[in-house]
Structure 1
Amino acid sequence: MEKILEKAQKIKIIFFDIDDTLRVKDSGFMPESINEVFKKLHEKGIMTGIATGRNLFGVVPEVRALKPDYYVAINGAYVENARNQKVLYKNTFSKDLVEEIIAWLRTEQSEYSFVAADSLRVSKWDKIASEAIGPVYAELKENPDYYQTEEIYQMLTISDHDDQLKLPENLADKIRLVRWHPNSSDIVPLEGSKAIGCQQVLQELGLKAENMLNFGDGLNDRELFDFAGLSVAMKVSHPEILEKADYITDSVENDGILKALQALKIID
């Protein structure tokens, strides 16, 4: 613990995942202690960021009300300075790549979703889509050709056999799948990750990885846990994330973030 406390003294910015980290994904519950955490961090001059698989549309009002300094959204594909709305980084899919992905998913009898910076569309809204995406984004409009008019940063698979999907050779060197629900996976650039997005923020601030702490729970936090100077996993995290964590804290419902920051002596 002594070494972890030494690392904690170097922290100047903290990134938080949203789902099952700041708030419970299925119920939307966010403890009052989260407001206390952000207030104390701001008072101490420690900057805050949201690092999420969601796009800006999915950053719910209670998270925006925390007034984070940065948004690292869509698994690092879109990065924005929240204080002045300056876009620091974006990594979009080409139309040719989107069409290759769609062609593959059709052969796999899988529906899909497009993720733009501040909007989403699905190829088909049905029970499977509702179960996977509904708790995060609510009901989405259908538009299987949305990529023709909008910049696409990420796509999602939607099927009842998602665990059986395997990338064909023509896509395996361009994209990868990150499962986040039994019926859905994020389709992200091969080298895309939250870590790449957070690096853009550190670069703007002139900070190093050792100055950054992150909280997370899912497989899309994997690269961030390898990158950050200090990583904290929620109690409910995926086993791989628990293994990578420097510190494991309690659940959202039990004020896990507040407890961790107090244990690390970052706030009182």
Structure 2
Amino acid sequence: MTDLLDKASKIKIIFFDIDDTLRVKTTSFMPESIKRVFSALKAKDILTGIATGRNLYGVVPEIRALNPDFLVTINGAYVEDGKHQPIYQQSFSDELVEGIVDWMKAEKSDYAYVAADDLRVSAWNDLIDEAIQPIYGTLKVEPDYYQSEKVYQMLTFSDHDDKIKLPESLVKEVRLVRWHEHSSDIVPVEGSKAIGCQKVLDQLGLKPEEAMNFGDGLNDRELFDWAGLSVAMEVSHPEILEKADYITDKVENDGILKALQELKIID
């Protein structure tokens, strides 16, 4: 515990995942203790950031009301500060999108386009509804959306998502990160939440050992390798639990507050 407290004493910014970290994905429940946490961190002059697979459209009002200092969205592909000024953007080329669409069609998979503040899907059905409704609600169908808007990420949707493999033509450009039984994020090979968070640190002149993060899913994997101190929620994927410096209680039991108090970052 002494080593953990030493790491905690160096923290100047904390990044938080949203789903099943700040709030419960399936019920939208967010404990009142989260507001207390953000207020206490501000009083201690510790900066806060959201690090999420969601885009800006998916950063729900109760999260925005916490007034985080930074938003690292779309798994690090789009980053902005608290004044809504972009810090970093990494979009797909039209050629890459077209290659992904051709591959999705060959795999008999539907797909979604993720823009900075909007989303579109190639179709709408019960399978897509089950995966995406709890996060974004019902989305508009627009198969050629990329022709008019920048795309930062795409999603697969199928009942055989675990069997879908990238073709050789795409493996050097993108990778798959599963987040749901029927869906995976399609992200740049070099893209991750850690890269987006590093862009924030570059602007602030901070080092990774001065950053802390809370998360639970496989899209937090790179963050858990990068940050000076990483905390996993009790419900986290086994790989995240293995990588964590500290494991805390679940959202409903005020896990974030408990961890920050145990690590003596806030009272």
Tell me the TM-score normalized by structure 2. Answer: 1.00
Number of residue pairs the alignment of both structures matches: 267
CA distance in 2, matches of 1:66, 1:88: 20
Which amino acid in the other structure matches residue 59 of structure 1?
A: V
Q: Superposition RMSD on alpha carbons, in Å? A: 0.4
Structure 1 unaligned blocks of 5 or more: none
Question: For residues 90-138 of structure 1, what are the alpha-carbon distances to aligned partners after superposition, in whole Å with 9 as ceiling and x for unaligned?
Answer: 0000000000000000000000000000000000011010000111001
Q: Secondary structure at the match of 1:18?
A: coil
Which amino acid in the other structure matches residue 192 of structure 1?
A: G
CA distance in 2, matches of 1:92, 1:172: 17
Number of the residue aligned with 1:221: 220
CA distance in 1, matches of 2:46, 2:153: 30
CA distance in 2, matches of 1:85, 1:32: 25
Tell me the CA shift for residue 8 of structure 1. 0.2
Number of the residue aligned with 2:87: 88
Number of the residue aligned with 2:5: 5
Number of the residue aligned with 1:256: 255
CA distance in 2, matches of 1:139, 1:163: 24
CA distance in 1, matches of 2:24, 2:123: 26
Question: For residues 166-204 of structure 1, what are the alpha-carbon distances to aligned partners after superposition, in whole Å with 9 as ceiling and x for unaligned?
Answer: 000000111000000000000000010000000000000
Q: Secondary structure at the match of 2:239?
A: helix
CA distance in 2, matches of 1:85, 1:112: 28
Tell me the CA shift for residue 210 of structure 1. 0.6
Which amino acid in the other structure matches residue 28 of structure 2?
A: G
Which amino acid in the other structure matches residue 105 of structure 1?
A: M
Tell me the CA shift for residue 240 of structure 1. 0.2
Number of the residue aligned with 1:122: 121
Find runs of 4+ consecutive structure 1 residues off by over 2 angstroms. Answer: none
Number of the residue aligned with 2:42: 42
Tell me the CA shift for residue 86 of structure 1. 1.3
Q: Secondary structure at the match of 2:253?
A: coil
Which amino acid in the other structure matches residue 37 of structure 2?
A: V
Number of the residue aligned with 2:111: 112
Number of the residue aligned with 1:177: 176
CA distance in 1, matches of 2:65, 2:124: 30
Tell me the CA shift for residue 223 of structure 1. 0.3
Question: For residues 3-29 of structure 1, what are the alpha-carbon distances to aligned partners after superposition, in whole Å with 9 as ceiling and x for unaligned?
Answer: 010000000000000000000000000
Number of the residue aligned with 1:29: 29
Tell me the CA shift for residue 79 of structure 1. 0.5
Tell me the CA shift for residue 232 of structure 1. 0.1
Q: Secondary structure at the match of 2:186?
A: strand
Tell me the CA shift for residue 85 of structure 1. 1.5
Question: For residues 212-251 of structure 1, what are the alpha-carbon distances to aligned partners after superposition, in whole Å with 9 as ceiling and x for unaligned?
Answer: 0000000000000000000000000000000000000000
Tell me the TM-score normalized by structure 1. Answer: 0.99
Tell me the CA shift for residue 205 of structure 1. 0.3
Which amino acid in the other structure matches residue 27 of structure 2?
A: S
Number of the residue aligned with 1:265: 264
Number of the residue aligned with 1:137: 136
Number of the residue aligned with 1:60: 60
**Within the alignment, does 1:195 sit opposite 2:204 as a pair?**
no
